[in-house]
Structure 1
Amino acid sequence: MKRNPVMPYALIAVLGITLMIIIGFVGLNQMDQAGEGKEGEGEKTAEEGGGEASAANPEEIYSQTCAGCHGQDLSGQVGPNLQTIGSKLSKEDIKGIIQNGQGGMPAQNLNAEKTEAVSKWLSEKK
């Protein structure tokens, strides 16, 4: 009796599909666990910071919203160099630029607390 020549290929296909499903579930589980870990860290830092629930970290805000154009080290890329911006502009000037934009920079969609934190931090760069 002859064996069916398609059978080994079908077995490999079934095993491959099963393996992909298992790897997918493992990846989703790890992604969920990573998200839970980040939420826990945020709560921990808020508790350590004297109970401030929404403490604005200007360096983190800068990294997320500004570094793409101004560079991670404030040296400028598409946008201008901000390493000594505090010697050129006041905190209020910087705050106005963040809120309203200027030149090629569009207005940023930051809440008042984040805008205040970033403008204060940048105004100290002299």
Structure 2
Amino acid sequence: MKKKLLTLLLGTSLVMGLAACGGGDDDTSKDKDNGGTDTTETASAGDAQKIYDQKCSSCHGGDLKGGMGPDLTKVGSRYSKDEILDILKNGKSGGMPANVVTGDDADKVADWLAAKK
């Protein structure tokens, strides 16, 4: 009985942890304000903060000052946009998972973060 309870608790913790760091399957193709119908809306350059808030802030903090993940307030002084894109694509040892942000969204976030100096 204790073994089953422990397994259940560990499994739940793992799933919750993955969801918090972008492991969840977000369906952003649905516009909730439009009755749940599909839209072709894409993020503009001004949406990098919004993408960060949705995908990154749970680990790096809403203020970029870190949490589980490192402080990103001056990440642009350490990494170029291309290096940040590489980290977003491939992850980084020590806890940063790969592909948390992808495609055009990754490009926008990398550009936005590279400006943080």
Q: TM-score range by the shorter chain?
A: 0.5 to 0.7
Q: SS where residue 81 of structure 1 aligns?
A: coil
| 2:105 corresponding residue in structure 1 | 114
Instruction: Give me the TM-score of the superposition, normalised by structure 1.
Output: 0.58
Report the count of equivalent residues: 82
Aligned-residue RMSD, C-alpha: 2.3
Alpha-carbon contact 2:88-2:102 (below 8 Å) kept:
no
1:53 Cα offset (Å): 4.1
| 1:55 corresponding residue in structure 2 | 43
Higher helix share: 1
Q: State the Cα deviation string for residues 33-63 of structure 1 (Å, max 9, x = none).
A: xx33697xxx8xxxxxxxx941341101100
Ranges of 4+ aligned residues in structure 1 off by more than 3 Å: none
Q: Which has the higher contact order (CA 8 A, sep 6+)?
A: 2
| 1:8 corresponding residue in structure 2 | none
Question: Sequence identity of aligned pairs in percent?
Answer: 38
* Runs (5+) with no aligned partner, structure 2: 1-31
Instruction: Give me the TM-score of the superposition, normalised by structure 2.
Output: 0.62
- Match status 1:99 vs 2:89: yes
